[in-house]
Amino acid sequence: MNLNKNNYRYDFPIMANWINSNAKVLDLGCGDGELLNYLKKERNITGYGIEKDPDKWLKSLKTGINVLQVDIEAGLPEFEDNSFDVVILSKTIQSMHNTQKILDEMLRVGKQVIVTFPNFGYWRDRIQSIQGVMPKSEELPYSWFNTPNVHLCTIKDFDDLCKSNKYKIVDRLVLTDTKSVRFFPNLLGALALYNLVKR
Partner 1 sequence: MTSKKNIGIVKPETFKSLIPLRLKSGKILKEYNLIYETYGTLNKKKDNAVLVCHALTGNHHLAGRHSSKDKYPGWWDNLIGPNKPLDTNKFFVIGINNLGGSDGSSGPKSINKQTKKPWGADFPIATVEDWVNSHEALITSLNISKLAAVIGGSLGGMQVIQWAIRFPEKIKHAVVIAAAPNLTAQNIAFNEVARQAIITDPDFNKGNYHEKNTQPKKGLRIARMLGHITYLSDSVMESKFGRKLKNKNYQYNFNTEFEIESYLNYQADKFAKEFDANTYIRMTKALDYYDPANGSKLNLSKVFKKIKSKFLVISFTSDWRFSPDRSKEIVKALLDNNVDVKYAEITATSGHDAFLMEEPRYHTILKSYFNKML
Query: Of residues 13, 46, 101, 198, which one binds partner 1 by CB under 8 A?
Result: 46
Is 61 among the residues that bind partner 1 (CB under 8 A)?
yes
The 76-115 site mask, x for binding partner 1 (CB under 8 A), equals -xxxx--x--------------------------------
Is 62 among the residues that bind partner 1 (CB under 8 A)?
yes
**Spatial separation of the C-alpha atoms in residues 189 and 145, rounded to whole Å:** 25
**Spatial separation of the C-alpha atoms in residues 120 and 156, rounded to whole Å:** 10
Is 141 among the residues that bind partner 1 (CB under 8 A)?
no
Query: Of residues 64, 138, 144, 182, which one binds partner 1 by CB under 8 A?
Result: 64
Instruction: Find the Cα–Cα–Cα–Cα dihedral 50, 56, 61, 66, rounded to 10°.
Output: -10
Is 58 among the residues that bind partner 1 (CB under 8 A)?
yes
Q: 160: part of which helix (H) or strand (E)?
A: helix 155-164
Q: Is the dihedral of CA 119, 120, 122, 124 positive or negative?
A: positive
By CB under 8 A, the count of residues binding partner 1 is 19
Helix, strand, coil percentages, rounded to 5, for the chain? 35, 25, 45
> What is the contact surface with partner 1 in residues (CB under 8 A)?
24, 46, 48, 54, 57-58, 61-62, 64, 66-70, 77-80, 83
